[in-house]
Amino acid sequence: MNRGLGSWPARRAAISPDRVALVFGDDSWSYAELRDRITRLAHRLRGIGVGRGDRVAYLGPNHPALVETLFATHLLGAVFVPLNFRLTAAEVRYQLDHSGARVLIRAPECAVVQAPTTIALTDLSGIDGPPLDIDVELDDPAFILYTSGTTGRPKGAVLTHGNVIWNTYNLLVGVDVAGDEVTLIGAPLFHVAALNQCLLPTILKGGRCVIMPSWNPEQALDLIESRRVTWMFGVAAMFAALTQSPRWPHTDLSSLRCVMSGGAAVPPALIRAYQERGLTFCQGYGMTETAPGATFLEARESLDHVGSAGVPVFFTEVRVDGNPGEVLVRGPNVTPGYWNDPAATADAFTDGWLRTGDMASVDAAGHFHILDRLKDMYISGGENVYPAEVEAALFTHPAVAEAAVIGIPDEKWGEVGRAFIVSAAGSPPTAGQLRDHLVERLAKYKIPAQFTFVDDLPRTGSNKVRKADLRKLR
């Protein structure tokens, strides 16, 4: 009767019980073992009162227990709420209260907060019982995923089982995920991309998920070599960190069949660095509310369309309101709305289309080019400036490791750019050197008026830059 995600472990174990499902450190679990552990955990959760529609929260770094909790929750028809373990106790408290979580499973190193029932990760034992088959439909909520909260309070985006399953179909059309896939999961699983673009498609196909507790570029290079990783996802900052390792030129990357990025535009210079190692980026555009895929650039197209976010994914419609204009999305992968927030839900949709708040242009071949967040664009001397374009140009300078650009008030031009620069190892660049570098690459009005050098950039749990925090710096 369970038509949702909760039935996946049993369905997969019936097909390939002895294949390795999860790897964590030196430990591994087959699909049969994973199914049994999930069933026992579901019996324990049911024993403390969890049933259809209840919310079960998880607070902790990447760990096999997160995967088990997710599927055990869905086996009961309940709703899984993965929380960002980097948040403060007050921020976690808000999300627990807002979601109405009945149970919290918490890692010992995370903020101490209480739910009606709190279970320590170290005490995540199960209870023996028969197989469970609860009636779950595709329209039932599966996840509440809290948005990054770059401005204001985070909203709880609801994703149904159908949303996630249709997203998986879209992903499998664009990426040739195989049954022998070895997927490196280094991005946080509380974030929609690692969860829905890597973990779930790999499990559906019966591949092997190699889970890192947290991102570490040196450990990632070790695992690619030792575990013969075939597929990995990351944001641009993660892939840039790999190229900055002294081991980058000589690490054996021959097992990799696909590297995939999302979350923000990948600078063309970084794409070329991977092409020089014989690796091709698949990249796409999406958001939590689209589960997350909206557009995708397949590997075979990436050499001819460097910097493109691709075309609409197979079962989803995407358009722009003008050219350039705001990106609008509709399809079976799109959220029905925000948890307990009808006003935000109403504001997010226009005639059935989700308003993303992102600006894009579409070229003659139908490829989408994401320009920036609508709220991050600034106007200098009457001209629109998209910080992402400026950041990509800055990244081509060899002494720049990371860059973020915001608009600041200016009496003459209305607004001008201020660039925040994290220097690469070696001699840091000067503001003059960066201006000279940009003169050949950008129109004059796009070149930042100010350059500020920082040790690091403030980021959300999903590795997006908190530009609101940069605007507070003097």
Residue 150 has pLDDT above 60, yes or no: no
Is residue 464 within 8 A of residue 86, CB to CB? The reply is no
Q: Is the peptide bond before 292 cis (omega within 30 degrees of 0)?
A: yes
Is residue 209 within 8 A of residue 233, CB to CB? The reply is no
- Cα 33–chain centre separation: 28
- DSSP assignment string, 228-276: T--EEEE-HHHHHHHHTSTTTTTS--TT--EEEE-SSPPPHHHHHHHHT
For helices 431-439 and 387-395, angle between their N-to-C axes, nearest 10 degrees: 110
| List of residues 6+ apart from 40 with CB closer than 8 A | 125, 126, 127, 128, 129
> What integer pLDDT is reported at residue 23 of this predicted model?
98
pTM of the entire structure? 0.85
- DSSP assignment string, 4-25: SGGGHHHHHHHH-TTSEEEEET
Which tokens go with 38?
């999930």
Backbone angles phi, psi at 287, to 5 degrees: -160, 170
Residue 149 has pLDDT above 80, yes or no: no
Decide the pairing of beta strands 353-362 and 368-373. Answer: antiparallel
Residues above pLDDT 90, as percent of the chain? 73
- Domains in the chain (CATH in brackets) are 5-137 (3.40.50.980), 173-373 (3.40.50.12780), 378-471 (3.30.300.30)
Residues above pLDDT 70, as percent of the chain? 98
Mean pLDDT of 10-19: 98
Mean pLDDT of 413-432: 90
> What integer pLDDT is reported at residue 152 of this predicted model?
59
108 burial via Cβ count (<10 Å: 0-12, 13-18, 19+):
exposed
pLDDT tens digits for range 176-210 = 999 999 999 999 999 999 999 999 999 999 999 99
> What integer pLDDT is reported at residue 122 of this predicted model?
87
Question: Angle at Cα 358 formed by Cα 452 and Cα 445, nearest 5°?
Answer: 45
| List of residues 6+ apart from 344 with CB closer than 8 A | 155, 337, 338
> What integer pLDDT is reported at residue 151 of this predicted model?
47
Mean pLDDT of 327-344: 97
pLDDT tens digits for range 223-263 = 999 999 999 999 887 898 999 999 999 999 999 999 998 86
> What integer pLDDT is reported at residue 300 of this predicted model?
82
47 — pLDDT class (breaks 50, 70, 90): very high
Residue 474 has pLDDT above 80, yes or no: no
Mean pLDDT of 77-95: 91
SS3 for 450?
Answer: strand
Q: Buried b vs exposed e over 193-212: b needs ≥16 C-beta within 10 Å?
A: bbbbbbbbbbbbbbbbbbbb
Alpha helix stretches (DSSP H) within 286-335: 299-302
pLDDT tens digits for range 98-145 = 999 999 999 999 988 888 999 999 889 999 999 999 999 999 999 999
| List of residues 6+ apart from 58 with CB closer than 8 A | 65, 66, 69, 70, 80, 81, 82, 83, 104, 105, 190
Mean pLDDT of 448-464: 88
The one-letter amino acid at 178? A
Max CA pair span of the chain: 73
pLDDT tens digits for range 281-332 = 888 999 999 999 999 998 888 778 877 899 999 999 999 999 889 999 999 9
With CA atoms as reference, report the closest residue to 50 among 33, 69, 37: 69
403 — pLDDT class (breaks 50, 70, 90): very high
Four-CA torsion 276, 224, 178, 167, nearest 10 degrees: -80
Mean pLDDT of 158-177: 97
Mean pLDDT of 76-92: 91
